[in-house]
């Protein structure tokens, strides 16, 4: 899967967890999920579960530590699906 | 000096009406929220009846965001949030905006017996399936006892004490009295109080196993013998939430708020599971003491009580409750005040019973009526020997009420009694 294809699938997942005062337009590949998009850090585990379901993969505890922004997620998904 | 405390907002999610106007209409007409539930039949329950508030998906979205409703499976929190936010709105108090500091003068005491049993069941299945990592982020928030107060606290931006009390079926009445004291002693200006209880087989099963629910009316949910009836054979389990916004009289007058009633005072005690009291049965002496202490705390004489909103569950204990009121007030026959029980219409809403019933009591006091005590055509003979049957109205009666009493009793031998006055 190209990183573009992954991004297209990933964006709606992230959108679900945005606080009401953050617009979906602010999502880009470099946006830090908790610091810039203001996603509640507790929701990172929900984002991971949604990604697992959508891409049929499984993350390890160590993988989750590396997840800071959208690009990190794309990389992790590429590793798991290749 | 203690501050005077009044109720300026009400909210309710009841099996026979969601929202104050629908509920008020329902209790005047004696509308039942009890229904046959095929799910309970399929699970081999003895009592296949239950009382569940009706809430549409649309209604849920008025109170909780799509994100909050994601993987949400806690009916009690939903009911508590709707009732609590309605009470706040009714009192015309705005939540803090996201940029503002919290409302330091507003606290919450919102109790429950247990929270999110359906969510907990989901979690247990996942854990046993060695899949704990799949629980998601809201399992804790939905199943912690303080889940309901925590959800409300976040929606409102409450900055004073935010907690959940738990005292079985006395929870709602206890929450009111705890909030009352908090304001009376000047620790907060506003307290949102109430209680909630989940719906469904996993919260009701234990009561079914104890045979305290009725198995006799599965095919006739409209004909169940109600509270105080000679034929009463157990309660129907219910669910829902009730909420009240408490504030000092001073503050209410300054704001020009609608004052539903003043809380004159009350008492909470415990029978110690002694003298006939046990985990599940009340110590009558403690009940009488609780009522007398509530009167004393309120500087109210027993003869002043115009109306009692009873705990009266439609079990064999109803005549004992009437006897306890009669002894505590030293009033009998036609000198006894009006008395009724909401449980004939909505079943026993367990941890939510006290709060839903308090809302019904306050509406009667405020609007001046007594709702019908339904399905009690055949009054229990022991009750008939203690008090005049005219004091238990089968029909809605318009009558001016000035001072009223509400009591709730629960497992663990807990008792709570509150006294309200019209102002």
Cα–Cα distances in Å, from B10 out to A63, B179, B301? Answer: 49, 14, 27
Q: CA-to-CA distance for B228 and B394, rounded, in angstroms?
A: 11
CB–CB contact A17 B65 (8 Å): no
Contact B306, B402 (CB under 8 A): yes
In tens, the pLDDT along B274-327 reads 999 999 999 999 999 999 999 999 999 999 999 999 999 999 999 999 999 999
Residues 6+ apart with CB under 8 A from B248: B3, B4, B5, B6, B183, B189
- Residue A14: pLDDT band (50, 70, 90) is very high
Consecutive H or E run containing B365: helix B353-367
Instruction: Say which of B66, B98, B137 has its CB closest to residue A42.
Output: B137
User: Which residue(s) pair with B35 in the sheet?
Assistant: B50
Q: Return the residue in A49, A51, A57, A64 with the most chain B beta carbons within 10 A, the one to mutate for interface testing.
A: A49
Closest residue in A to B66 (Cα) is A16
Q: At residue A82, does pLDDT exceed 90? A: no
Instruction: Say which of B66, B98, B137 has its CB closest to residue A46.
Output: B137
Closest residue in B to A20 (Cα) is B65
Closest residue in B to A42 (Cα) is B137
pLDDT of residue B99: 87
- Residue B162: pLDDT band (50, 70, 90) is very high
Nearest to B108 by CA among B79, B58, B147, B54: B147
- Whether the pTM exceeds 0.90: the reply is yes
The two tokens of residue B262 are: 């003043």
Exposure string of B21-55, with b = 16+ CB inside 10 Å and e = fewer, is eebbebbbebbbbbbebeebeeeebebbbbbbbeb
B318-329 and B284-297 are packed helices; what angle lies between their axes, rounded to 10 degrees? 40
Residue written as token pair 């501050």: B3
Q: Return the residue in B133, B139, B150 with the most chain A beta carbons within 10 A, the one to mutate for interface testing.
A: B133
| A to B CB pairs, distance under 8 Å | 19
Nearest to B192 by CA among B333, B85, B316: B85
Q: What is the ipTM of this complex?
A: 0.90
- Mean predicted lDDT score pLDDT of chain B: 97
Length of chain A as a residue count: 82
Instruction: Say which of B67, B98, B136 has its CB closest to residue A49.
Output: B136
CB-CB neighbors (< 8 A) of B61 in chain A: none
Q: At residue A20, does pLDDT exceed 90? A: no
In tens, the pLDDT along B363-389 reads 999 999 999 999 999 999 999 999 999
CB–CB contact A46 B66 (8 Å): no
Q: CA-to-CA distance for B333 and B340, rounded, in angstroms?
A: 15
In tens, the pLDDT along B254-284 reads 999 999 999 999 999 999 999 999 999 999 9
Chain B residues with CB under 8 Å of a chain A CB are 65-67, 70-71, 98, 134, 136-138
The two tokens of residue B367 are: 């609007």
Pairing of strands B414-421, B106-112: unpaired
């Amino acid at each position: 899967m190209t990183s573009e294809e992954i991004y297209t699938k990933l964006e709606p997942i992230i959108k679900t967890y945005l606080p009401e005062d953050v617009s979906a337009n602010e999502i880009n590949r470099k946006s830090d999920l908790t610091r810039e998009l203001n996603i509640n850090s507790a929701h990172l585990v929900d984002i991971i579960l949604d990604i697992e379901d959508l891409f049929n993969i499984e993350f390890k505890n160590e993988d989750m530590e590396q997840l800071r922004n959208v690009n990190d997620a794309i990389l992790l998904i590429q590793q798991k699906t290749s | 000096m203690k501050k005077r405390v009044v109720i300026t907002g009400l909210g309710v999610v009841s099996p026979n009406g969601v929202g104050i106007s629908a509920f008020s209409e329902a209790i005047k007409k004696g509308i039942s929220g009890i229904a046959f539930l095929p799910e309970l039949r399929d699970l081999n329950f003895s009592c296949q009846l239950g009382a569940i508030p009706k809430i549409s998906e649309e209604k849920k979205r008025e109170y909780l965001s799509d994100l909050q409703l994601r993987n949400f499976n806690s009916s009690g929190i939903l009911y508590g949030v709707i009732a609590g936010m309605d009470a706040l709105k009714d009192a015309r108090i705005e939540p803090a905006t996201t940029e503002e500091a919290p409302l330091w003068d507003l606290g919450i005491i919102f109790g429950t017996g247990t929270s999110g049993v359906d969510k907990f069941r989901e979690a247990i299945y996942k854990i046993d399936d060695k899949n704990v990592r799949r629980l998601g982020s809201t399992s804790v928030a939905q199943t912690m006892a303080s889940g309901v107060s925590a959800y409300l606290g976040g929606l409102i931006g409450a900055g004073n004490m935010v907690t959940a009390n738990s005292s079985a079926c006395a929870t709602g009445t206890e929450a009111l009295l705890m909030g009352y004291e908090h304001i009376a002693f000047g620790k907060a200006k506003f307290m949102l109080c109430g209680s909630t209880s989940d719906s469904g087989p996993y919260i009701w099963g234990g009561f079914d196993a104890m045979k305290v629910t009725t198995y006799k009316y599965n095919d006739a949910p409209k004909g169940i013998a109600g509270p105080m009836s000679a034929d009463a054979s157990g309660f129907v389990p219910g669910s829902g939430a009730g909420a009240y916004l408490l504030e000092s009289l001073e503050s209410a007058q300054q704001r020009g708020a609608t004052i539903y009633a003043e809380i004159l005072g009350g008492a909470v005690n415990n029978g110690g599971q002694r003298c006939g009291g046990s985990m599940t049965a009340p110590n009558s002496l403690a009940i009488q003491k609780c009522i007398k202490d509530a009167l004393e705390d309120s500087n109210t004489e027993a003869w002043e009580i115009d109306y009692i909103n009873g705990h009266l569950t439609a079990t064999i204990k109803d005549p004992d409750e009437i006897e306890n009121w009669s002894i505590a007030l030293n009033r009998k026959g036609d000198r006894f005040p009006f008395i009724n029980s909401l449980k004939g219409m909505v079943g026993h809403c367990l941890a939510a019973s006290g709060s839903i019933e308090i809302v019904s009591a306050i509406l009667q006091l405020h609007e001046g009526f007594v709702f019908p005590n339904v399905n009690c055509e055949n009054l229990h003979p022991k009750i008939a020997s203690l008090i005049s049957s005219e004091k238990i109205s089968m029909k809605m009666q318009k009558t001016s009420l000035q001072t009223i009493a509400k009591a709730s009793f629960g497992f663990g031998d807990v008792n709570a009694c509150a006294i309200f006055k019209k102002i």
